[in-house]
Structure 1
Amino acid sequence: MTIQHHPDDDLLLALAAGSLARGHSVVVASHLEHCAHCRQRVELLEAVGGAMLDALPPALLAPEALARTMAAIDAPVKRTGARPSAPHPALPAGMCWPQSLVGCSATRWRWLGPGMRWSRVTLPDDAAANVFLLRIGAGKNLPAHTHSDCELTQVLYGAFHDGRARFGPGDFDEADGSFEHQPVVEAGGECICLASVDGRVLFKGAIARTLGALVGM
């Protein structure tokens, strides 16, 4: 797997600092699972952050800090399996769930349009996160659209081209309102992506906008 497109350093820094929105962090983490380059970048950013903390002057803890820490240590740990919780949609042979989705649930595949299906992903620690899977058939395309805010997409299977570049297995894309694009899946096979959206996907055309609203995109 040759990965051509990666998250920028701002996203990796937010992930390392624990400040990235939960939905976005799931998508970025799924990229890191197959990208040694980005894992090394995150390790470097974490090391830099640790060094900066070490350089700060000592500060007194709140009186109840120790008690809260001990209570958190003693709290029971909820263990999850190696796959998303049922129900979950079927996947092509040889495709595995990203480890970042452990503990999440995903609906069955739902019709979105001819050759297009989607699945809502629910995060146990952030039910409001707008995360979903898209499964688009060979040669099919999403309607042309832009974004009110930000969409992060990780290609899990197959490949598409959106007029800017080709995105294959393992590739990551960040899209916003600065451009309009229309992802078209390659003719050789279907494409499955994991996506997290802040704001709305702004489709062109009344039918596409209606379908997008029904899906919550």
Structure 2
Amino acid sequence: MTIQHHPDDDLLLAHAAGRLAGGPAVLIASHVELCAHCQRRTTELETIGGALLEELSPEALAPEALARTLAAIDAAPVADAVVSKRARQAPRRRPALPDGVAWPRALQHCSATPWRWLGPGMRWSRVTLPQDAAANVFLLRIGAGKQLPEHTHSDCELTQVLCGTFHDGRALFGPGDFDEADRSFHHQPTVQPGGDCICLASVSGRVLFKGVIARTLGALVGM
């Protein structure tokens, strides 16, 4: 199945420039590593950015700029670097994926909880990013024919499909597809026949579910 849905240029450019927070950065990286179109587009944006930098007039650094930079390096806590190295080297806890479904390389230093019950035919797993402990990233595994409750978003939700397909009333999303939803969208993703749909998601703000039970479950999950 051909990838049909991609991040927009603003997201790709922000990712290339290193301006994204940990959660969105992992989602974009997970998509780009699978998508030849976005790999080419990212290269084009990086080339344009480099050309624009070359056209800028040189600016003289303050006389003490180098001294301040070296002092900041010397003052950096060594303990944090040691903990970070240990975190990268620690064994990764990850829930099982279906045969033939690979973990995104962007998650190679991340861990995830075992699958947890969310509802009939629905499970979820919390993903921990060592570089951004506050990131709200999780996996959703929804069975064929099941649907999430109708909802919108207080801010933004990024979704990368790892396997399976779903339709949310706007479009059909399959393996490799990327979706960005904000408060202007009210949707109800429904998994299509053929097997479970597993998605990686990053949420900024809250998922605003319709219905008391759905809101309660969402709050327990941290959506």
Same fold, TM-score > 0.5, yes or no:
yes
Check 1:203–1:93 CA distance in 2 against 1; reply closer, same or farther (3 A cut). same
Whether 2:98 is the aligned partner of 1:92: answer: yes
Greater fraction of residues in helix: 2
**Superposed displacement of residue 19, structure 1:** 0.8
1:164-196 deviation per Cα after TM superposition (whole angstroms, max 9, x unaligned): 110000000000111210000012110000000
Question: Which of 177, 192, 202 matches 1:171?
Answer: 177
The residue number in structure 1 matching 2:190 is: 184
Once residues 163 and 174 of structure 2 are traced to their aligned partners in structure 1, the CA distance between those partners, rounded to angstroms, is: 8
Q: In the alignment, is the contact (CA less than 8 A) between 2:92 and 2:109 conserved in 1?
A: no
Deviates more, 1:60-69 or 1:165-174: 60-69
Alignment of 1:10-159 (within 5 A): 10-61=10-61, 62-64=65-67, 67=70, 78=85, 80=88, 85-159=91-165
Which consecutive unaligned segments of at least 5 residues does structure 1 have?
A: none
- Check conservation: 1:16, 1:42, Cα contact below 8 A: yes
Q: Does the residue aligned with 1:169 lie in a helix, a strand or coil?
A: coil
Task: Give the Cα separation in 1 of the matches to 2:39 and 2:194.
Answer: 30
> How many percent identity over aligned positions?
71
Instruction: Pick the aligned partner of 1:199 from 178, 198, 205.
Output: 205
Q: Does 1:3 align with 2:9?
A: no
Distance 1:60 1:101 in 2: 40
CA contact (8 A) 2:146 2:191 kept: yes
SS in 1 for 2:216: helix
Is contact 1:148-1:201 (8 Å) kept?
yes
List structure 1 segments (4+ residues) > 3 angstroms apart after TM superposition. 65-72, 75-81
Deviations 1:70-126 (A, max 9, x none): 879xx8894847xx9422111111111000101111011000000000000011011
CA distance 1:204–1:85, change in 2 (3 Å): farther
CA gap of 1:41–1:68, structure 2 versus 1, over 3 A, is farther
Quickly say closer, same or farther: Cα 1:85–1:131, change in 2 above 3 A. farther
